[in-house]
Structure formats: C-alpha cells, structure tokens
Amino acid sequence: MGSRLPSPFLVMREQNMLTEPVFTLDFTRGPNLLDGPGEITFGKINPDRYKGDITYVPVIDHDLWRIQMDSIGVAEAKFCSRGCQTTVDTSTAFIKGPRSDIRYINDQIGATYNILTGRYDILCSNVDNMPTISITLGGRTFQLKGEDYIVYNNVPLGLPFCSSGFMNLPGQDIRDNIDGKI
C-alpha cells in the first residue's frame, strides 16, 4: 500500500513556517485566460488582493480540499438546498456538478451544449443579460453575475466565443460538485 505525501501547505504548517495557518489564491482574470498576474500567498492574507469580508469554510477532507456547500441557485431553482459537499479545485476554470443540475443551470442562462467540446456555449454579447447565480458557502451567499461565470475563449483568426463556467461532472451521478476558479 502506497503512502500519501502531505501537501506543501501542511508541511509548512507542521514546521511552523506560517504566520497563520492559511493560504490564498488570487486568479485575476480578464477576457484572456492568461491575463494576470495572479498570486498565491502562504501564511497570511494580502489585503490588497480582495474587497469585502472573508468567509472561512472548514475543510472536511484535506486530501481533496472538500468543503460543505449550503446551496447553489439560479432563477427560482435551488440545488443542494439541504447542503452538499464540494471540492475546491484550482486546476479547473469550471464549476462541475451532476448532469441534470448543470443542464438546468445552462438552460437558464441560455447556453447550449456543444457535443464536440463537452462545454456549454453562449454568445459573448449575452453576458450582461444573464441571470445571477447564488452560491452559499459557510452561511454566506455569493452572487455571481454573467461576467463571473463565463469563460472567454479566443480562437486564432476568429471571433471570440464564450462558454459557460458550469460543466457536467463526468461519470458521477452522486450529488458532488467541484468548484473551480471562475
């Protein structure tokens, strides 16, 4: 049986290398996915990189960075209204969830499924008219506008096109979600 290596953050915490047991990620974004610069900070929170209050949500599973999500909603529909677990995954630009929920959310925002890419596409010109999507974590509701949950794609010698930031979670029928960095 193989052993699991602790994350660099946990090693730094165990060796008392951190002022506080926190780390922060800032994904500054614009129309291009490579816009930045972003920032990762260990042991403190850089007050120049955020506005408003910080919401702390306990990690349930440190191997997967799994946390409790209170709910997610669009229009009149709420999903996981009794709470569900979600994984914080900074390696993806998408929020992934069960196929039926993702289909409903994308229908509400006017996105259509692209069988070739597995994404839901939408006209970039519609972004300002998209509904607000509410995600509640740690008792605090975050309101996402269209510009917050749309991924801008640039193609060489072509018009830019947009994709929804909500994608099907492949191969899973359970009520799991993965929150990416959109």
Q: Which residue(s) pair with 134 in the sheet?
A: 73, 143
Structure tokens at 85: 């677990």
pLDDT tens-digit profile of 60-102?
887 777 888 888 889 888 888 788 888 887 777 788 888 888 8
Same domain, 29 and 85: no
21-25: long-range contacts (C-beta < 8 A, 24 or more apart)? 24/49, 24/50, 25/90, 25/181
Q: Are 111 and 117 in contact (CB under 8 A)?
A: no
- Tell me, yes or no, whether 47 and 61 share the same domain: no
Co-location of 4 and 47 in the same domain? yes
The model's pLDDT over 137-149, given as tens digits with 9 standing for 90+, comes to 999 999 999 998 9
10 and 80 assigned to the same domain: no
**Which residues 6+ apart lie within 8 Å of 41 measured at CB?**
23, 24, 49
Q: With a threshold of 0.85, does the pTM exceed it?
A: no
On whether both 59 and 47 belong to a single domain, the answer is no
Last residue of a domain, one of 29, 51, 73: 51
Domain-ending residue, one of 35, 51, 67: 51
47 and 73 share one domain: no
Nearest to 181 by CA among 95, 120, 107, 111: 95
DSSP string, 91-151: T-SSEEE-HHHHHHHHHHHT-EEETTTTEEEE-GGGGGGPPPEEEEETTEEEEEPGGGSEE
The tens digit of pLDDT for each residue in 17-57 reads 999 988 888 776 555 555 566 788 899 988 888 888 888 88
C-alpha closest to that of 121 among 156, 157, 151, 77? 151
Same domain, yes or no, for 35 and 74? Answer: no
Pair (26, 116) in one structural domain:
no
* Burial tier of 162 (Cβ tally within 10 Å: 0-12, 13-18, 19+): buried
Judgement on whether residues 131 and 47 belong to the same structural domain of the protein: no
Number of independent structural domains in the chain: 2
The boundaries of the domain holding residue 104 are 55-179
Shared-domain flag, residues 77 and 167: yes
Task: Note whether 62 and 30 are same-domain residues.
Answer: no
- Check which CATH number belongs to the domain holding 164 and give it: 2.40.70.10
Are residues 150 and 63 located together in one domain of the fold? yes
